[in-house]
Amino acid sequence: MQSQAEPRANRRERLEDVLVVDTDVHVHETPGALLDYCDLPWRKALEAIKDIPERYLDIPGFSPGESIGGYQAKWPTGHSYTRMVLTREQMRLELDELHVNLAILFPDNLLKLAVLTQDEYPAALARAYNAWLVDQWCEPALGLLGAIVACPQLPEDAAREIERYADDPRIVGVYLPCAGVDPLWGHRRYDPIHRAAEAAGLPVLLHSVTVTHPVYPFNNHGFDTELGRHALSHTFSIMANLTHMVTTGVPVRFPELRIGSFEAGITWVPFLMNRLDKEYLEKRRDVPFLTERPSHYLKRYFYATQPVEEPEDLADMAKVIELFDGEDSTVFASDWPHHDFDHPMKVAQIPLAPEVRRKVLGENALRLFGIDASGRRT
Amino acid sequence: MTSDAHERPVHRVGRLADFPPGTHRVVEVGKRSIGVFNIKGVLHAIPNLCPHQTGPLCESPATTGTLSATKESDWRPEWVHDGEIVICPWHGMEYHVPTGQCLAWPNIRLRTYELVVEHDVVSIRL
């Protein structure tokens, strides 16, 4: 991965010359695609909705609820709001354009799995998705690695899924759906998932999506605009779920469990650490199992950059990373092909030391997912 | 850019009929990719490159207008610049084509290229 030319000390390495691990890209799963992978009787439910004209991240009985501005006036735009990737070959070609070497696959529609009100049905969807993902998408030789989805409505079943894929070379993480999850991740009812992931050596990956769901921390029904809904629903969800994980003692009960945060940006990380540390001074007895300040535990976890904040002076972002000791815990993500994806060049433009830039663009993610630079699990 | 405008090279990009009002096309001039717009009968040209994250700005399917709200409108939205706004397909950043002005970032103004129409032939003067 080294450039042929002698690198000048002050020259920024080209993206082509560094390892870029994209920790969050999205495949497009539909009811029809999952049919053959789904158990009866739930397969019948997928058959019943497979021909419904698809609306983006909004399929009744599958991914209910508008996610891209359907609660407000729709103005004409040239913005490609509904890009999707339908095959692994398409994904590989498009990731080549972004100079991405390895990518971790997340779902599209099942970002809303936690919103479904039943137990057995979302569990069947999760099993079908996981089997489809491994069969149709994951290909280490193409640099495409998968995160299986854990169904929060049926934690024991999710734990069995983690055990099923524990040693699969194509699976490198467990995705925890955050949109609408109730109770928040960290609750002891999810311990089978935490335990299985820790035992499998697989990180758990917190990822939300915009839902208008009258459950803390979304409360999106209160916003007039998609700007408000979208800006806060991802970030508040991740902040709430991480706060609950730390304050319910997940880091001490599962000390080897690696945790990653996705699609929430990173500027809130110093805020959350400082805020929780301040609360800890007064309310330590609420969390007597924590022997260190909350920030101590949060610093063990990983934070994906997308949607990376873009202050006028990008040096501010270097400062933000420094504020949470993020040199070893910040990981690049593009969120391709979604409307708010980041090209890695924007993260590469942050004025970081060359070795830190390489860590953020790729090397830190290898530790998060327990893989080597060729995508092999270590 | 030389100070003598007449010495700047002129590149033919098509016939006037190739650019009907209300449409735009991306043309290649050397290594440059340029969007040529016909807005209400007047031709405009801007780079097909969004300075935000290098998205293909002018591959947007159609120009639109945009919303403005001022004290005079009692801070209520008004539809303005109809047909004069191009929106980047990558991240939705808006630009006013005739001026190159980026709406979200006031300090960004795209360069605009000079267009020459002679005998129904459209050229860009670089």
Which structure tokens are listed for A256? 């080897």
Residue (of A78, A1, A31) closest to A362 by Cα position: A1
Name the amino acid, one letter, at A12.
Answer: R
Which of B49, B87, B102 to probe by mutation at the A interface, max A CB count within 10 Å? B87
Say how far apart CA A165 and CA A317 lie, in whole Å. 37
How does pLDDT run across A231-270, given as a tens digit for each residue? 999 999 999 999 999 999 999 999 999 999 999 999 999 9
Q: Are A220 and A184 in contact (CB under 8 A)?
A: no
| Helices (H), ranges, chain A | 31-34, 42-49, 88-97, 120-136, 155-164, 191-200, 226-247, 250-253, 268-283, 294-298, 315-323, 344-348, 354-358, 364-369
Q: What pLDDT is stored for residue A90 in this prediction?
A: 97
Contact A345 B54 (CB under 8 A): yes
* Distance in Å, alpha carbon of B76 to nearest chain A alpha carbon: 13
Task: Give yes or no for a cis peptide into A337 (omega within 30° of 0).
Answer: yes
- The string of pLDDT tens digits covering residues A190-241 is 999 999 999 999 999 999 999 887 778 888 888 889 999 999 999 999 999 9
Per-residue pLDDT band for B1 (boundaries 50, 70, 90) equals very low
Q: Is B108 on the interface with A (CB under 8 A)?
A: no
Distance CA A277, CA A267 (A): 17
Are B87 and A78 within 8 A, CB to CB?
yes
3-state secondary structure (DSSP) of residue B20: coil
Q: Pick out chain A residues at pLDDT < 50.
A: 1-4, 6
Q: Do A77 and B92 touch (CB under 8 A)?
A: yes
Q: What's the confidence (pLDDT) of residue A2?
A: 45
Dihedral pair phi/psi, residue A48, rounded to 5°: -70, -20
What pLDDT does residue A80 have?
A: 82
Is the distance from CB of B36 to CB of B23 less than 8 angstroms?
no
Would you call B51 an interface residue with chain A, using a CB distance cutoff of 8 Å? no
**CB atoms A78 and B89 under 8 Å:** yes
Q: What's the confidence (pLDDT) of residue A202? A: 98
Measure the CA–CA gap between B14 and B18, rounded to whole angstroms.
6
pLDDT in the model for residue B54: 93
Mean pLDDT, rounded, for B108-117: 97
Set of chain A residues whose Cβ sits within 8 Å of the Cβ of B52: 310
Q: What is the mean pLDDT of residues B73-85?
A: 93
| Terminal Cα distance for chain B, rounded | 8
Nearest to A343 among B53, B89, B107 (CB): B53
Residue of A nearest to B79 (CA): A75
Residue with tokens 């993500």: A333
Q: What is the pLDDT of residue A1?
A: 43
Task: Kindly state the average pLDDT of the residues B94-115.
Answer: 96
CA distance A81 to A78: 9
Of B54, B63, B91, the CB nearest to A340: B91
pLDDT for position A82: 85
pTM comes to 0.88
Q: In the A/B pair of chains, how many CB contacts fall below 8 A?
A: 39
Report, as an integer, the average pLDDT of B101-122.
95
Q: Does B14 touch chain A (CB under 8 A)?
A: no
For Cα atoms B28, B29, B30, give the angle at the middle one, nearest 5 degrees: 110
The residues, any chain, with a CB within 8 Å of residue A366's CB and separated by 6 or more, are A21, A372, A373
CB < 8 Å to B67, chain A: 75
B46 contact A CB<8A? no
Q: Is-contact A339 A83, C-beta < 8 A?
A: yes
pLDDT-based confidence at B5, cuts 50/70/90?
Answer: low
- Residue in A346, A370, A351 with CA at minimum distance from that of residue A104: A370
- By the CB < 8 Å criterion, does A345 face chain B? yes
Instruction: Name the residue among A160, A264, A145, A262 with its Cα closest to residue A204.
Output: A262
The predicted pLDDT at position A12 comes to: 82
CB contact under 8 A, A343 and B54: yes
| Residues from chain B contacting residue A77 (CB–CB below 8 Å) | 64, 87, 92
Give, in order, the Cα–Cα distances in Å from A63 to each of A18, A211, A214, A256: 37, 10, 16, 33
Q: How many CB atoms lie within 10 A of CB B26?
A: 14
3-state secondary structure of A35: helix
Paired tokens of A245 = 């994980």
Cβ-based contacts of B63 with chain A (< 8 Å): 78
DSSP secondary structure, A127-156, as one string: HHHHHHHHHHT-BGGGTEEEEEEP-TT-HH
Q: To the nearest whole angstrom, how far is the Cα of B53 from the nearest Cα of chain A?
A: 6
Distance from CA of A328 to the nearest CA of B (A): 25
**A16: Cβ–Cβ under 8 A, 6 or more apart, which residues?**
A99
